[in-house]
Amino acid sequence: MNKKTNLSGLSAVLLFVMTLLSPAAWAGLPFFDSQGDKLPTLAPMLEKTTPAVVNIATTGTVRVQENPLFSDPFFRHFFGDRFPNQPRERKTSSLGSGVIVDAKKGYIMTNHHVIAKADEITVTLRDGRSLKAKLIGTDPDTDIAVIQVPAENLTAVPFADSEALRVGDFVVAIGNPFGLGQTVTSGIVSALSRSGLGIEGYEDFIQTDASINPGNSGGALVNLRGELVGINTAIFSQNGGNVGIGFAIPINMAESIMQQLIEHGEVKRGRLGAQAQNLTPDLAQAFNLQQGRGAVITRVSTGSPADKAGLQAGDIVTEINGKQVRNADSLRNTIGLLRVGEKVTLQILREGKSKKLVVEIKEAVIETTQGEQVHRYLAGATLTDIEDDSRRHGRIAGVLVTEVERGSPAWRAGIRPNDVITAVNRKPVKNVQAMQKLLGKSRGLQLHLRRGGDTLFLYLQ
């Protein structure tokens, strides 16, 4: 077989491959000449896109407690001060990724969990420059954070419309897995609107089989045009490595959060004031409905925006501003991402009849308690009860930590925003009031926390 025959065979294979791809897909694949052959490649697109994806390194400190046995009077009677019971601090570090979204102002979008424990944030650009970054704002509920670096010769990545994504679209993940340096992987959109995973407070994930590994968090998920469709944030894995199931936050959601973080330094979430559950096939049959998608309102808080608009328990919400409501998580996500003061139109079913309600979204007024009012070791933490319309309500009982001041006793003890305190001194607590009564003048403080999907104990003294 001669060289001409080999080239002919290669051309036939390439032609077959190209026929498998839709015109929209292969049109985005440029070509280059190599030894007379024309081959598809993503290199030209990546050459424009990868300078906008950065590596993020953080350093911080955490308080390390000695074994509580060392403070036991019986133990110290025999061993004295041979084992000093003094808190120590140790340095921590982490690696992640980020995406430059505004080259003129130096804004970089990343994940909250990448910079959550950071005292210092260092950004390394594709050209090797290292820049110190400052935190603009962070939102643990969506796992989005915005940091800023000096705007000097930066490249930003343009945004796509993540609502236009379809299952099967080709995507490319760019990040810094395992601290190896910038790495590119490709795949397709495996699924859309993944929720109920318990990873974040608000979930509407893009699922992809493009390899995402530890260190990719905060990196870019782009389409074949080099446009940003999502922020890589999590993987589904039993061993910590990629198994073909990765999740990214849709850029439409991330951009909405980013704008609020830049404007206010935080996200001011709207409140509907109603609880809901999924419209299951059994419930649909009980309501004599053909459709099986929607959210059934189970409770409406008195005086809430939902109450004032006329929403009632038993109503089925099917659309918000013309967009279909798939389930209770979909309803909560949509409301939680709306700006305070915005008016929305709810399409509902009530006793089989379609009806429209206009609701003005109000800012959630949450009663909080300062940690030092509960116990001196909790100074610097802000505590609150779990709201009725919170995703956690009914799933976990305890006290929610909404804020922790950096460097405070609570921060040094290891308490972080979004932690849920489920028990103190080995006794369960349901709310702040119960926690105050239980502690009284207790000297030591042992906390049982839920953090994401993990549980941990902290001993404060």
Q: How many domains does the chain have?
A: 4
Kindly state whether residues 338 and 420 are assigned to the same domain: no
User: Is 11 one of the catalytic residues?
Assistant: no
Q: Are residues 123 and 211 in the same domain?
A: no
Q: Are residues 194 and 246 in the same domain?
A: yes
pLDDT in tens, 135-162: 999 988 888 999 999 988 899 999 999 9
78-87 mean pLDDT: 54
DSSP-derived letter for residue 387 is P
Last residue of a domain, one of 205, 234, 264: 264
Answer yes or no: do 386 and 426 share one domain: yes
Q: Which domain holds residue 341?
A: 270-363
**Are 222 and 235 found together in one domain?**
yes
Structure confidence at residue 132 (pLDDT): 92
In a domain, 157, yes or no: no
190 is catalytic: no
> Which of 220, 212, 223, 215 has its CA nearest to residue 247?
212
How do residues 232-254 score in pLDDT, each as one tens digit?
988 776 666 667 788 999 999 89
Residue finishing a domain among 264, 287, 308: 264
Tokens of 98: 């980020």
Question: Which listed residue (217, 304, 330, 390) is catalytic?
Answer: 217
Residue 11 parent element (H or E): helix 3-20
User: Is 193 a member of any domain?
Assistant: yes
Whether residues 113 and 137 fall in one domain: yes
Catalytic-labelled residue, pool 94, 97, 112, 113:
113
Mean pLDDT of 122-131: 89
Catalytic residue among 94, 112, 141, 143, which? 143
217 is catalytic: yes
User: Residue 177: which CATH number?
Assistant: 2.40.10.10
21 in any annotated domain? no
Q: Are residues 413 and 379 in the same domain?
A: yes
Q: Clarify whether residues 190 and 130 are in a common domain.
A: no
Whether the predicted pLDDT of 376 surpasses 70:
yes
**Based on the domain organization, do 309 and 374 belong to the same domain?**
no
Residue that is last in its domain, among 245, 264, 283: 264
Burial 87-104 (b: 16+ CB within 10 A, else e): eeeeeeebbbbbbbbbbe
Q: Which residue spans within 223-309 are E strands per DSSP? A: 228-235, 246-250, 270-271, 274-278, 295-300
Question: Rounded to whole angstroms, how far apart are CA atoms 154 and 45?
Answer: 17
pTM higher than the cut 0.75: no
CATH number assigned to the domain comprising residue 320: 2.30.42.10
Q: Which helix (H) or strand (E) holds 15?
A: helix 3-20
